[in-house]
Homo-oligomer: A and B are copies of this chain.
Amino acid sequence: MIPTITAFARSPDGGRGLARDMRVRWALEETGQPYEVRLVSFKAMKEPDHLALHPFGQIPTYEEGDLALFETGAIILHIAERHDGLLPKEPNGRARAITWMFAALNTVEPPILDRETTALSERGETWGEARLRLTEERIRVRLSQLSAQLGDDDWLDGAFSAGDLLMVSVLMRLGPPILDEFPSLAAYVARGQSRPAYQRAFEAQLKVFREGI
C-alpha cells in the first residue's frame, strides 16, 4: 500500500526544502518507498477534514490504509522501523540512533525555532533585535556541543541514520552565517544534502513550489 503524505500547497520557504514534508520525503527516498502527496492550503489546514488527521493543524501527515499519523519524528520512526536504511539492526545502535532523532528535535531544534519565531513574528516588537542576539547565543552553545560530539566523523553514530537525517534537516533550518561558524557541522549538512535520496526529495518538493504539483 502506497502511503500518502501532506505538504503545503505553497511552501512559505519558497522551495528551499525547509518545510517538514521534506524530512518525510527524504526518509521515504532513503528507504526506496514510493509515496503520494496531497497538497493542502493554509486555509484547509485549519478545517475539520485536516484537523481530523492532524489535531494541531499542521503538515505533514501520513496515511497508509487504516493508519493516520502526524508529527514528523513519529512518521520517520514509523518508516525507519519498517524498511531498511534508516536504523541499525543491532539493538544498542538502533536505540542510539533513535536518541539522535530526539536530540535533533528536542535539544538542537528548539533554540533554532525560537530564533526563527523571534525573527518572523517579533521583529516589530521593541525587543526584536536584542532577543535575536540572545537566541543566537543559545544556538551557539548547542552547536558547540554537537560539534564536539561529531568530531571528525561523517555521521553522529557510525552509519547514516534517521538521527542524522533529522539533525541535518534541523541544521538546514538555521543555515549560514551561524552554521558556518562551525565548519565541521556545515560540512556535515553538505554531506547529508549530497545524498541521492536527499536530492530526489528536494527536487520533488521544489517541483511542487514551481509547478504546484
A106 and B103: CB pair below 8 A? no
Residues in chain B near residue A148, CB distance under 8 A:
51, 55
Identical subunits present: 2
Assembled-state Cα–Cα distance A134/B56 (Å): 19
B56 and A145: CB pair below 8 A? yes
Let me know if A39 is at the binding interface, CB within 8 A: no
A69 and B57: CB pair below 8 A? no
Let me know if A70 is at the binding interface, CB within 8 A: yes
Q: Which of B95, B98, B107, B127 contacts A126 (CB 8 A)?
A: B127
A105 and B106: CB pair below 8 A? yes
Assembled-state Cα–Cα distance A55/B70 (Å): 29
A101 and B127: CB pair below 8 A? no
Residues of chain A from 27 to 84 with CB closer than 8 A to chain B in the complex: 51, 55-58, 66-67, 69-75, 77-78
Assembled-state Cα–Cα distance A51/B103 (Å): 14
**Could you jot down 12 A-B contacts, CB within 8 Å?**
A55-B145, A55-B148, A56-B103, A56-B145, A66-B92, A67-B96, A69-B99, A74-B101, A74-B103, A126-B130, A127-B130, A131-B131
